[in-house]
Homo-oligomer: A and B are copies of this chain.
Amino acid sequence: MSMQDHDVVGIGNAIVDIIGQCDDAFLSQHGRTKGSMELVDAITVANLYDAMGPGIEISGGSAANTMVGVASFGGKAGFIAKTADDEFGKVFRHDIRAAGVTFNTAAAASGGDPTGRSLILVTPDGQRTMNTMLGVSPQLGAEEVDADLVRSGRILYLEGYLFDRPQAKAAFRQAADIAAKAGRQVAMTLSDPFCVDRHRAEFQQFVRSSVDILFANEAEIASLYEANTFEDAARRAQSETKLAAITRSEKGSVILSGGRTIEVAAAPVAKVVDTTGAGDLYAAGFLYGVAIGRDLETAGRLGSLAAAEVISHVGARPQMKLAELAQKAGLL
């Protein structure tokens, strides 16, 4: 495969989101914690699907959403993830390519696990509660990590969720090694406080040894360092990372780098409709800004802008061209 340069290459789960509305009582009845991401098995996902209202299917997946965001800013993005040879897999592959992202990972042979999916329950306050069946997604083998594609990217972006399964974790580490040897930057998102909780020691070690740019929200960074206050967590991140961007919902984000702390405000949103993808799209703007050589504050503002766009509608992928929004805002 001949390789154009990529600004960012991502590796993560391939997920189709099934988004429905519900009220808080529905979450309680089904024992769900509002705002969380829970991994569920096929039976649980089937039962919850039976109980929930009508849905809308939209391609998702954390790092996949981020790569689509980079492409929407006008950047060149690539993605590596495992889909099945089924209809949801076709939907995922179509949507990511149609968004302009390089995607060449072969689908698994039919007859095995299905393409991953997440039942996303959105409450009237716009909060999302995710119930994810990974399906075939963690069966991404280390041998399926396209080394040329990884080397072609200025930044490799890794989705923390992959740490939840040994085979995918091996692929994740392999990609990081390839990128490091090629002199590329390695970025990672912690993805979820409970995921961090399940793999804290490994995450801490990996962040110290292999990560150039760390993304996390307040709950995730607190979980990583078992910190009781945001200030404590930020102090640890400042000393243990080269560059960290920590998102704080409506309080914006804090960028930590070489002893400096840069605070970036959230971009205004008329009405928060669905917070799914806020962190993913913040990472898209930030990574794009860093990849094209902008200063960290501008990168953070590109992140805020992209996050604001995605939470103003249903679904975790941008509906407007982010490059145009950024130009209007004077950021590009």
Contact = CB atoms under 8 A, between A and B. Distances in A.
Interface of A: 18, 20, 49-50, 52-59, 68, 86-88, 91, 94-95, 98-99, 114, 315, 317
Contacts of A88: 87
User: Residue among A88, A91, A315 with the most chain B CB within 10 A?
Assistant: A91
The 7 closest A-B pairs by CB, nearest first: A57-B57, A87-B87, A54-B95, A54-B98, A53-B98, A56-B58, A54-B99
Contacts of A50: 94
Nearest to A87: B87
A49 B86 contact: no
Contact of A54 (B49, B52, B59): B59
Contacts of A20: 98
A213 B20 CA distance: 34
A98 B21 CA distance: 11
Nearest to A57: B57
B59 A91 contact: no
A58 B59 contact: no
A259 to B, nearest CB: 41
A74 B52 CA distance: 19
A31 to B, nearest CB: 20
A96 to B, nearest CB: 8
Contacts of A91: 18, 55, 57
A122 to B, nearest CB: 12
User: Residue among A58, A59, A87, A317 with the most chain B CB within 10 A?
Assistant: A87
Nearest to A18: B91
Contact of A55 (B18, B49, B87, B94): B94
Contacts of A55: 91, 94-95, 98
A58 B68 CA distance: 21
Nearest to A114: B87
Contact of A56 (B68, B86, B114, B315): B315
A52 B315 contact: no
